[in-house]
Chains A and B, each alone.
Chain A
């Protein structure tokens, strides 16, 4: 299970599909030949219509490690070509064509592999949290000593992906900060609204601690956050981004 694991087309069988939020679905696929994947890698899903028309999209993998069960959490884009099928129509027992594991750029590897003790700041916008699930799971599974902190910007509490699992990880010591853009819980210290540079400065590991920063979200979100981090003194070379398009 390294970035050098063999990338190929695999056929998997859906073994679990359940609502993640009102617009997203968690999908677990059993892929007998899957070579394992690093935390943060993605895969391409290819759908083929009865008339032969094919559509392909990339999705971050929420799972990591040597297993042959691959987990995705897919948010439905109303005008999407692939996500509406995955969220609305895909059923347990269906076969899926998957190309992966892909990409060694937006990955996190345990300190035992990298010998890198610098802290890690993860910053998610909406469904951009998915690759970070793989990272925080890998971090917990390896009992890795690297300081981790997750900043999760989301519209409202009901839109939080992996809510229970994140709550458990937080109870076990992972530092998670939520910023809500539309509706915040009743007693939340930060009022709901678009994330601000001040909130980012308050919740992110400071530049003086030299964190490695990963940002995943819509292109607009990533641009905004990355720009502010550089203004706050972070080195552009320490920031890795995964934009998934949109505004």
Chain B
């Protein structure tokens, strides 16, 4: 199955976060690599979206959306580093 980039999640994530999560740095639970969420490998398939670590392929995050609810799991990310607004 083909994938796209974490950058493509910016729209969905902007509904949930006050900052641009795609430029935040996340650390993979599985391999410990830290990188921008925008660089994750994203697989879009109904009903949900899966973001995987570009280094080890482990699942970083999942998003499932229905008409009135969004489920977000960040179970594969240990910490998120966000630049403070200047």
- B23 lies within 8 A of A102 (CB): no
Residues of chain B within 8 A (CB-CB) of A246 are 2
Residues of chain B within 8 A (CB-CB) of A219 are 2-4
Among A21-29, A71-79, A236-244, the stretch that binds chain B is: A236-244
Q: Does B11 contact A (CB under 8 A)?
A: yes
Nearest CB of chain A from residue B48's CB, rounded to whole Å: 15
Among B5, B8, B20, B37, contact of A3 (Cβ-Cβ < 8 Å)? B20
Q: Does B36 contact A (CB under 8 A)?
A: yes
Q: Which of B1-39 contact A (CB under 8 A)?
A: 2-8, 10-11, 14, 19-20, 22-23, 36-39
Q: Which of A102, A244, A247 has the most CB of B within 10 A?
A: A102
Q: Knowing A3-B20, A104-B20 touch, does A42 contact B10 (C-beta < 8 A)?
A: yes
Among B11, B14, B36, contact of A105 (Cβ-Cβ < 8 Å)? B36
- A58 lies within 8 A of B85 (CB): no
Residues of chain B within 8 A (CB-CB) of A100 are 11
Among B3, B19, B22, contact of A103 (Cβ-Cβ < 8 Å)? B22
Q: How far is the CA of A242 from the CA of B9 in the complex (A)?
A: 12
Q: Which of A22-50 contact B (CB under 8 A)?
A: 42-44
Q: How far is the CA of A243 from the CA of B3 in the complex (A)?
A: 8
Residues of chain B within 8 A (CB-CB) of A4 are 19-20, 85
Nearest CB of chain B from residue A214's CB, rounded to whole Å: 11
- Give the residue name and chain of the B residue nearest to A236 (CB): B54
Q: Knowing A7-B14, A58-B11, A99-B11 touch, does A104 contact B23 (C-beta < 8 A)?
A: yes
- B22 lies within 8 A of A104 (CB): yes
Q: How far is the CA of A44 from the CA of B19 in the complex (A)?
A: 17
Category for how many chain A residues contact B: 20 to 34
Nearest CB of chain B from residue A38's CB, rounded to whole Å: 11
Residues of chain A within 8 A (CB-CB) of B38 are 103-106, 240
Nearest CB of chain B from residue A245's CB, rounded to whole Å: 6
- B8 lies within 8 A of A58 (CB): yes
Nearest CB of chain B from residue A47's CB, rounded to whole Å: 15
Among B4, B11, B19, B36, contact of A102 (Cβ-Cβ < 8 Å)? B11
Nearest CB of chain B from residue A112's CB, rounded to whole Å: 15
Among B4, B11, B23, contact of A243 (Cβ-Cβ < 8 Å)? B4
Nearest CB of chain A from residue B32's CB, rounded to whole Å: 16
Closest 10 CB pairs of A and B: A105-B38, A103-B10, A102-B10, A104-B23, A105-B7, A44-B11, A7-B14, A219-B2, A243-B4, A104-B20
4 additional A-B pairs beyond A4-B20, A7-B14, A243-B2, beta carbons within 8 Å, are A42-B7, A104-B38, A105-B38, A219-B2
A-B contact pairs, 20 of them (CB 8 A): A4-B19, A42-B8, A43-B11, A103-B7, A103-B8, A103-B22, A105-B5, A105-B6, A105-B36, A105-B38, A106-B38, A219-B2, A220-B2, A241-B5, A242-B7, A243-B5, A244-B4, A245-B4, A245-B44, A247-B2
